[in-house]
Structure 1
Amino acid sequence: MKQFIDFIPLLLFFIVYKLDPRMVDLAGHDFELGGIYSATKVLIAASVVVYGALFIRQRKLEKGQWLTLIACLLFGGLTLAFHSVTFLKWKAPVVNWLFALAFLGSHFIGDKVLVKRFMGHAMSLPEPVWLRLNMAWVVFFMFCGAANLYVAFTFEDFWVDFKVFGSLGMTVVFLIAQGIYLSRHLHDSDTPPTKPKD
């Protein structure tokens, strides 16, 4: 569920981006609505509201949520300040690669890989399975970053569509594949060990 909460600002960004630019009156002030720059403003505002509400409710944000919020403020702010969409195009690749680096780094720092820290309370798996699963997340985030970068600078007319639906689609496919992989090992771990005969 948490992964999909992170998509709320992105979906709002997409909706506003697709609108034909128009001026709207809000509390006596005129605002442009529609197009990339107003969509970027909505992305920033929605991110602050969503993560602010989560912070108030949970009294904390996860590190990944902090990273996403900071990247949104940084790359979105640079996009608006310099009136250049190039900064926003780099947001998804950089965030994905930082996640990949964090998962990879957990193989060398700390006593547990990241995926075990997130899911270890819910299931028990052999250590080699945790390591393979963690590396799968590394590969997934590296691939997502590269795919976002390629589409953003090669297919400029479709990069916003891909940023929203491509990212969501890749995440859903990966989570289904992870579920299938885990179900094999959970089934094995649920099988009681056979007792030696006397």
Structure 2
Amino acid sequence: MKILLDFLPIAVFFVAFKLFDIWVATGVAIAATVLQIAWLRWSTGKVEPMQWLSLGVIVLFGGATLLAHNDTFIKWKPTVLYWLMGGALAIGQLVFKRNLLKSLMGAQMTLPESAWRSLSWSWTAFFAAMGVLNLWVAFHYDTDTWVNFKLFGGLGLMVAFVIGQALYLAKYMKTEADRP
């Protein structure tokens, strides 16, 4: 359920774009993200920091798109979000000597430090590459192609990457028979 809620703003952006235009889609995405955060706050009492960050980025870049009537801003939004997430992971590792992925997921799985480090750096690289790829598609193709890529390409690459991560982590996972 949570994953569906996380992708709701992207899905409604896509549908609104296909039915109307980039301006309506941008407004709908802003509204959907605000509603998403309000729902999470009301239903769970908690909103993750990355969700607050996503809200801020969509309001800032979506608002600039609507105010300036220039779709360049909304096309930059995924890149900024990817780079902020990747940057946070890198700064956590390099500056604070803290693995933020381990902080978030350490209770769910036990991994050696080298695996946590690899996981963190691979996500950092993935986010950096996705940011560049988003800009390349946004500014080398038409807006319709970019919107399709934003939903299907971005989501497909994310799923493929997560599967790759799962295959890498599988060698560290213990089965019930392995546990004392």
With normalisation by structure 2, the TM-score equals 0.92
With normalisation by structure 1, the TM-score equals 0.84
1:52 paired with 2:10, answer: no
1:174 is matched with: 161
1:90 paired with 2:76, answer: yes
Alignment-mate amino acid for residue 168 of structure 1: L
Q: What SS does the corresponding residue of 2:171 show, helix, strand or coil?
A: helix
Structure 1, unaligned runs of 5 or more = 20-33, 194-198
How far residue 191 of structure 1 moved from its aligned partner, in angstroms, is 4.2
Q: Deviations over 1:61-83 (max 9, x none)?
A: 11110111100000000000010
Q: Per the alignment, do residues 192 and 10 of structure 1 end up closer, same or farther by CA in structure 2, a change over 3 Å counting?
A: closer
Q: What SS does the corresponding residue of 1:134 show, helix, strand or coil?
A: helix
Alignment-mate amino acid for residue 7 of structure 2: F
How far residue 16 of structure 1 moved from its aligned partner, in angstroms, is 1.0
| Structure showing greater Rg | 1
Higher relative contact order structure (alpha carbons within 8 Å, sequence separation ≥ 6) = 2
Root-mean-square deviation (Å):
1.9
Q: Deviations over 1:77-135 (max 9, x none)?
A: 00000100000010001110010000111113445301101110011111111000100
1:16 is matched with: 16
How far residue 4 of structure 1 moved from its aligned partner, in angstroms, is 3.9
Q: Deviations over 1:162-196 (max 9, x none)?
A: 011111111111111111111111149x7479xxx
**Higher strand content, 1 or 2:** 1
Q: Deviations over 1:41-78 (max 9, x none)?
A: 11111111111100122222111101111000000000
Alignment-mate amino acid for residue 116 of structure 2: W
Q: What SS does the corresponding residue of 2:93 show, helix, strand or coil?
A: coil
Alignment-mate amino acid for residue 79 of structure 1: T
Structure 2, unaligned runs of 5 or more = none
Q: Where do 4+ consecutive residues of structure 1 move more than 3 Å? A: 1-4, 109-112, 190-193
1:151 paired with 2:137, answer: yes
Q: What SS does the corresponding residue of 1:6 show, helix, strand or coil?
A: helix
**Higher helix content, 1 or 2:** 2
Q: Per the alignment, do residues 86 and 187 of structure 1 end up closer, same or farther by CA in structure 2, a change over 3 Å counting?
A: same
Aligned length: 179
Identity %: 42
